[in-house]
Structure 1
Amino acid sequence: MKNITFLFLLGIQALFAQNYTEYLTGNVTDVTTNHHSGICLAGGNFDQKEAMKWFLTQANGGDVVVLRASGQDGYNDYFYSELGVSINSVRTFVINNAEGAVDPYVLEKVAQAEAVWFAGGDQYDYVKYFKDNAMEDALNTFINTKKGVIGGISAGLAILGNSYFSAERGGIESDAVLINPYHPRVTLGYNDFLEIPFMEDVITDSHFANRDRQGRMSVFLARFAKDNNRRSFGIASDENTAITVDAVGRASVYGSGSAYFLQANCTTNYAPEFIVQYQPLTWNKGGEAIKAYKVPGTTSGTNYFDLSDWETGNGGVWQNWSVTDGVLTMAAGSNPMCGTLSTSKFEDFTVEVYPNPVMEKIFIKSKAQVQTAKMYSLLGKQFSISFSDGNIIDVSNLSPGMYILKLYSETSEQTFKVLKK
């Protein structure tokens, strides 16, 4: 009897010390497919079937790994047999600690997958278990080298911007942060975790209008602009709504709610007028501090926004958001026509161009040296421009209209649409 009791206690101890739990549905043997890259952002509540089908189709019959920090195998049968898309397997890992995240077996299965999905829960679990370790490296290799499709819902969506609200000290409501933008619970990470195409300088949020999160997202964007001296961007999704982003940056919106694509207005001085700890935020800029494109979802995802230029869309409406003395205002707006690809990254050549529209001079902010600048009409005719000091372009001689600006570093180039007033 003593031996049986001892073995039982050992079993209980092993159970509580377990770093992860695995659930497998489908084939044990790994397959390699001609998969496709992409992002799927589900806003919470019910998953949108057509968006989920898109996510699985990107795997092209391959293997899906679900990563979560709580719960069980709720996605296994759903992905494997309920959506009508043929895949090889669904393997869920419930990760209990950082040791489980960096277990060689878990890392191997992530590397072998064609699709990786983050479940809901507490996003800080993902940050503390996956960041600054071998799992972070494995995920970024999966995204940028293998070019697999990645997605998440609720908390899983919240970590899919390259910048993010970590919720390290818990959640936060809009009312609390609008009156104190440096509230201790506003814990933000800036471009230091996942590196996902089209998501640089982007903060994501879920359950958006349903939980009145427009105010807190405005604060997140204000904080990013102030803390980093760069324009900030946001993508948010209502419940019952999902966004899919394909390899060229088209973000299609599915479901019964809306998606929101937000950007600090591309004025010369876009930083908040007043952002101080314990004081209400003011970020007004003539009522146009934030330019938001609100896109209603549809069953087939026909409405979209283009993340390759952050100005082209279909089926949505532009809004102007601003905050004055802690009060958020959302009003009808217009396309900012910024023409900047600030959220795109080509090797180490990341560029911001402002102001846009422009009257006389365009200013360039770039990590790499800009060696050449060329200006063309939309029909391809080249115009003479003055390019000085590597960061100033004089366009005062150009007639009003839309132009194409091409900037070249030693190894890369970027293209922008520029509106001359």
Structure 2
Amino acid sequence: MKKITFLFLLSFQALFAQNYTEFLTGNATDVTTNHLSGIVLMGGNIDQREAMKWFLAQANGGDVLVLRASGADGYNNFMYSQLGVTINSVRTFVINNAAGALDPYVLEKVANAEAIWFAGGDQYDYVKYFKGNAMEDALNTFINTKKGVIGGISAGLAIMGSSYFSAEFGSIESAGALLNPYHPAIALGYNDFLKIPFMEDVITDSHFAQRNRQGRLSVFLARFAKDNNRRSFGIGCDEDTAITVDSDGKASVYGPGSAYFLQANCTTNFAPEVIVKFQPLTWNRGGEAMKVYKVSGTTAGTNYFDLSDWQTGNGGIWQNWAVNAGVLSMVAGTNPECEKLSTPDFENFTVEVYPNPVSDKIFLKSKSPVQSVKLYNVLGKQFSTTLSHDNTIDVSNLSSGLYILKLSSEASEQTFKILKK
């Protein structure tokens, strides 16, 4: 009887241990540092060292947590001792199921980290283990309240957009997606998982040029535009290449490849012309359905694109992408030149808006009553907001980024760009 009980306990412990595996390199005692926020999107194959150094520097000597659903401790020594950036520790959790993701010890380490990295593998593992539960809450608290740096490579990159290709039913190549934009394998999630500043309405893709994924990301954007009736955005990243996004939305590109910043053209009629099941996609709009800024990487990350306005960049070229009957074309193009919203001329100025940038509250000083307040992000999404009795607008719950504030009185409407810190 004792032997049976002992074997049962061993089996129970083994089952429990299979929920996750932990690897620690460095100091087991947690530290608190003046860390910085940011995002790293790594395109796959080889980790881009300069971008990884940037990622570690954002932790400012703190603790790095690696989350993965396969593999082992491959990042531990690489991050801790091979990049020349001093950090307190690297801790890897290989998560085997949702129970592992929800273990209180694992959630505690997520909360204590200054930097979180998602390894490659299968992005659906991350979606099914982390989405819609306490791990999702812990990650979003880390990103938006603690404001730690977050990043990922390959499958880890694939979940960095607020919308995403989940790969729940396997992968899909560009040719199949273009011929049937509602192919069963095109499983998309829309703004229901990670909430990362500057990544709202964005879908990301890795191994971009090497695996000819331009067509499938175009289909993902077409689906988003159709399914949500909003302009869609995408970021593709080549192998051996990385994008770092700082707290102001500056997306710098490192490495030998390129990064691609896609957006549905900012016109009234932006949606695809033909997007139905079992028919090839047509998303043409005069050959300018999508405006794409292609940025070549450099060793020092000197070329960039600004995600706070999706119009400004350095070291890149604009392209027009369009799809006709399932065939993608990519030609030289121009800046989309979306409506440039600016502060009204001073002589007509009737409302003072301050501070800008803002952390918690926007204060208004107006010569006449403000009757309507509307707040949008740069992608056009409206946020619920009210003007309080003391002429303030609470924006403390908003993510960092650029917003458009529209104020209306009986006589006029005025528009302001507001930077939320």
Match of 1:263 in 2: 263
Q: Secondary structure at the match of 1:294?
A: strand
Match of 1:137 in 2: 137
Query: Could you tell me how far 1:8 is from its partner in structure 2?
Result: 6.5
Sort the Cα spacing of 1:353 and 1:195 in 2 relative to 1 into closer, same or farther, 3 A. Answer: closer
Sort the Cα spacing of 1:365 and 1:119 in 2 relative to 1 into closer, same or farther, 3 A. Answer: closer
1:328-343 equivalence runs, <5 A:
328-339=328-339
CA distance in 2 between counterparts of 1:269 and 1:369 reads 28
CA RMSD for the aligned pairs? Answer: 2.8
Q: Please say if residues 259 and 295 of structure 1, whose CA atoms lie closer than 8 Å, have aligned partners that are also in contact.
A: yes
CA distance in 1 between counterparts of 2:325 and 2:386 reads 40
Q: Please say if residues 310 and 340 of structure 1, whose CA atoms lie closer than 8 Å, have aligned partners that are also in contact.
A: no
Match of 1:351 in 2: 376
Sort the Cα spacing of 1:324 and 1:352 in 2 relative to 1 into closer, same or farther, 3 A. Answer: farther
Sort the Cα spacing of 1:339 and 1:91 in 2 relative to 1 into closer, same or farther, 3 A. Answer: farther
Sort the Cα spacing of 1:78 and 1:369 in 2 relative to 1 into closer, same or farther, 3 A. Answer: closer
Q: Please say if residues 311 and 339 of structure 1, whose CA atoms lie closer than 8 Å, have aligned partners that are also in contact.
A: no
CA distance in 1 between counterparts of 2:235 and 2:332 reads 18
Q: Secondary structure at the match of 1:236?
A: strand
* TM-score (norm: length of structure 2): 0.83
Structure 1: unaligned runs, 5 residues or longer: 355-363, 373-384, 394-404, 408-412, 416-421
* TM-score (norm: length of structure 1): 0.83
Sort the Cα spacing of 1:50 and 1:388 in 2 relative to 1 into closer, same or farther, 3 A. Answer: same
1:108-127 equivalence runs, <5 A:
108-127=108-127
CA distance in 2 between counterparts of 1:293 and 1:318 reads 5
Match of 1:150 in 2: 150
Is 1:233 the counterpart of 2:249 in the alignment? no
Q: Secondary structure at the match of 2:322?
A: strand
Match of 1:244 in 2: 244
Sort the Cα spacing of 1:365 and 1:162 in 2 relative to 1 into closer, same or farther, 3 A. Answer: closer
What amino acid maps onto 1:24 in structure 2?
A: L
Match of 2:43 in 1: 43
CA distance in 2 between counterparts of 1:280 and 1:266 reads 23
CA distance in 2 between counterparts of 1:386 and 1:91 reads 48
Sort the Cα spacing of 1:270 and 1:104 in 2 relative to 1 into closer, same or farther, 3 A. Answer: same
Structure 2: unaligned runs, 5 residues or longer: 342-357, 361-372, 392-405
Q: Secondary structure at the match of 2:74?
A: coil
Sort the Cα spacing of 1:308 and 1:365 in 2 relative to 1 into closer, same or farther, 3 A. Answer: closer
What amino acid maps onto 2:338 in structure 1?
A: C
Q: Secondary structure at the match of 1:51?
A: helix
What does the per-residue CA deviation read over 1:220-249, in whole Å, with 9 as the maximum and x for residues that have no partner?
000000000000000110000000000000
What does the per-residue CA deviation read over 1:225-281, in whole Å, with 9 as the maximum and x for residues that have no partner?
000000000011000000000000000000011000010000011000110001000
Is 1:15 the counterpart of 2:31 in the alignment? no
Sort the Cα spacing of 1:387 and 1:324 in 2 relative to 1 into closer, same or farther, 3 A. Answer: farther
Sort the Cα spacing of 1:3 and 1:339 in 2 relative to 1 into closer, same or farther, 3 A. Answer: farther
CA distance in 2 between counterparts of 1:280 and 1:205 reads 21
Identify which of 398, 406, 411 aligns with 2:415. Answer: 406
Sort the Cα spacing of 1:5 and 1:209 in 2 relative to 1 into closer, same or farther, 3 A. Answer: farther
Match of 1:159 in 2: 159
CA distance in 2 between counterparts of 1:262 and 1:389 reads 39
Match of 1:366 in 2: 382
Query: Could you tell me how far 1:302 is from its partner in structure 2?
Result: 0.4
Match of 1:54 in 2: 54
Q: Secondary structure at the match of 1:209?
A: coil
Query: Could you tell me how far 1:14 is from its partner in structure 2?
Result: 3.7
Identity rate of aligned residues, in percent? 71
Q: Please say if residues 162 and 203 of structure 2, whose CA atoms lie closer than 8 Å, have aligned partners that are also in contact.
A: yes
Q: Secondary structure at the match of 2:145?
A: helix
CA distance in 2 between counterparts of 1:386 and 1:128 reads 42
CA distance in 1 between counterparts of 2:386 and 2:283 reads 32
Q: How many residues align?
A: 373
CA distance in 2 between counterparts of 1:171 and 1:126 reads 15
CA distance in 1 between counterparts of 2:386 and 2:220 reads 30
Query: Could you tell me how far 1:300 is from its partner in structure 2?
Result: 0.5
CA distance in 1 between counterparts of 2:378 and 2:154 reads 33
Query: Could you tell me how far 1:212 is from its partner in structure 2?
Result: 0.5
